[in-house]
Structure 1
């Protein structure tokens, strides 16, 4: 049997990624909803539809600064004239003069009524006088104070906002699963809503394991590896919408590891570990978590058809059975594992839909090879084409995935049956939105 055939046979023994993700995500449930103040709710996901209890605007009001009047009193102002040689034209000489009987600001509250031949000077947001059905812009007048000349007549209803014009009572303002954005906060507040029911942001604890790990601020040397993973994964969890906490480095001590994880179950909705997922002599995490213990749950480690990194772990720990995701120790593989497994888990706990990043079809600019039998996620740069569509440029993958990810705005996805993707072919690309 050739080396290629051996590799393909080994890959066939791996669980397909889609099957693995389905088995994991079915075990997770969105966090119980909380009733939060609008400001605190920003960035969370709604747990229920939000219905407008009050109209917006709440009363008839002026939409602009100007003069609130009755349209019938303005019928003769600036009417269009006609001439067989010149067509339609404005007649600037015809104006209508009205008495200004008062001023109304946004804080005015006493009801007032217009009578024939009168108007009110109004500010934008001021309550509309009873009988008024138009607000004339200031620059269409001579800006008089006791009396004003209206030089042009706007259409009936111009410059006016009626009760419920924008939001009516009973209107669905946002549906369950929607992110609470700043404009939604303003919409809810305008409709008289002070609290909303949301899914809380998941609390995520990140732990790096391994005797060889040292903290940042020094270079790696033989026997020591700088812990890049816990910093990167904490940032990735925050980017995904979680409240993330970096615990730091845990040595390969079985009792210390068990105690640390037990302690963290009190503050976490999800625990992410990195390192120790293999079967080597130093992979303590797998040996500790894959053994059932009273009240400690169990983690299953699965060989998945994924490149980079084939071993992922998922299960629960502690008496509260807090979900735990175990990612590889190699930094590039850890970040890809986060995108594939941990990020969807965070989205699901937060009640978000969909849980996966959006994807597009793109025109491949360079021929790439991929290991057979594995679904490869390779860093890439995606760009929009003139006339529509996208192009994608592969970046460094394999052992250089970390440096490729630092430049990437997408992940090129090559399926299990793909060994070579030719330049010019159409491929799938996950979009990495770094602005969230």
Structure 2
């Protein structure tokens, strides 16, 4: 049997990534909903549909500063004439004169009515007099105070916002599973909503394990590896919408690790570890967490058909059965593992829909090879084509995945049966620069 055949046979023993993700995500449920004040809801996911309790605008109002009038009183504006301020209009309109019977601001509340030949001076947002069907812009008039001369006749309805014109009572404002954005906060407030039911942002704790790890601020030396993972994964969890906390480095001490994780179950909705997922002599985390201790939870480690990285862990820890995701120790593999496993878990806990990043079909600019039997996620740069569609340029992968990810705005996805993808072929790309 050839080396290639041996590799393919070994890969066939791995669990397909889609099957693994399905088995993990089916075990999880979104966090219980909370009733939050509108000012605190931004960034959370709606737990239910939000309907407008009231129309917006709530009353007929002026859309601009000007003069509220009846359109039929302006119908004669448009004949040839002259005006002492504007001069002679060769073929231009003859102004219409209306009496200004009052001023209305946004705080006005008494109902008033227009009579023929009259108008009101109004500010944008002011309630309109009964009978108004047009607001003439100030710059189309001589800006008179007791009486005004109107040079142009706007179209009927111009400058007017009717009740419920933008949002009708009972209209769907946002669906369950969507993130609350600043514009959405404004829409809810305008419709009279002061509280919304949301899923809380998951609290995520990140722990790096290994005796060899040292904190950032100095280069690696033989026997020492700078802990890049806990910093990167904490940032990734925040980007995914979580409240993330970096615990830092935990040595390869079984009791210390178990105690640390159990302490964190009091504050965490999800724990992410990195390192120690293999079967080598230094992979203490796998030995400790895969041990079935009653009341302490258990983590199952699975060899997944994934490149880079192969072994992922998922289970629960502590009496509270807090979910835990275990990622590889190699930084590039840890970040890819976060994208394919930890990020969907965070999205699911947050109640977001969908849980996966958006993807596009893209035109491959360079031929690439891929290990058979593994689903490879390779850093890439994706761009929109002028005539429509996308192109994708592969970046450094394999042992250089970390440096490739620093430049990437997408992940090129090559399936288990792909060993080579030719330039010009169509491939799938996950979009990293779009959060939702």
- TM class by smaller structure: over 0.9
Structure 2 CA distance for aligned equivalents of residues 182 and 325 of structure 1: 31
**CA 1:289/1:89 → structure 2, altered by over 3 Å: closer, same or farther?**
farther
Offset of 1:27 from its aligned partner?
Answer: 0.5
Native 8 Å contact 2:81 2:94 kept in 1? no
How many residues align structurally? 436
Offset of 1:388 from its aligned partner?
Answer: 1.5
Cα shift readout 1:71-116 (whole Å, capped 9, x = no counterpart):
2222211259999999999953522211111111111122222222
What corresponds to 1:138 in structure 2? Answer: 138
Native 8 Å contact 1:411 1:431 kept in 2? yes
Alignment gaps of 5+ in structure 2:
none
Cα shift readout 1:107-164 (whole Å, capped 9, x = no counterpart):
1122222222211111000111122221111111111111111122222222111111
Structure 2 CA distance for aligned equivalents of residues 81 and 151 of structure 1: 10
Cα shift readout 1:188-230 (whole Å, capped 9, x = no counterpart):
0000001111111111100000010000001100111000000
Native 8 Å contact 2:81 2:92 kept in 1? no
Structure 2 CA distance for aligned equivalents of residues 413 and 256 of structure 1: 38
TM superposition score normalised by structure 2: 0.96
Cα shift readout 1:228-275 (whole Å, capped 9, x = no counterpart):
000000000011111100000001111110110001011111100000
Native 8 Å contact 1:202 1:269 kept in 2? yes
TM superposition score normalised by structure 1: 0.96
Native 8 Å contact 2:77 2:150 kept in 1? yes
Structure 2 CA distance for aligned equivalents of residues 100 and 54 of structure 1: 33
Offset of 1:360 from its aligned partner?
Answer: 1.2
Structure 1 CA distance for aligned equivalents of residues 207 and 2 of structure 2: 40
**CA 1:304/1:51 → structure 2, altered by over 3 Å: closer, same or farther?**
same
Query: After the TM superposition, which of the residue ranges 262-271 and 153-162 deviates more from structure 2?
Result: 153-162
Structure 2 CA distance for aligned equivalents of residues 253 and 228 of structure 1: 20
What corresponds to 1:162 in structure 2? Answer: 162
Residue 212 of structure 2 is aligned to residue 207 of structure 1: no
Query: After the TM superposition, which of the residue ranges 104-113 and 232-241 deviates more from structure 2?
Result: 104-113
1:269-418 matches, cutoff 5 A = 269-418=269-418
Alignment gaps of 5+ in structure 1:
none
**CA 1:78/1:401 → structure 2, altered by over 3 Å: closer, same or farther?**
same
Structure 1 CA distance for aligned equivalents of residues 251 and 83 of structure 2: 93
SS at match of 1:392: strand
**CA 1:82/1:117 → structure 2, altered by over 3 Å: closer, same or farther?**
closer
Structure 2 CA distance for aligned equivalents of residues 416 and 130 of structure 1: 69
**CA 1:68/1:5 → structure 2, altered by over 3 Å: closer, same or farther?**
same
Cα shift readout 1:37-56 (whole Å, capped 9, x = no counterpart):
11211111111111111111
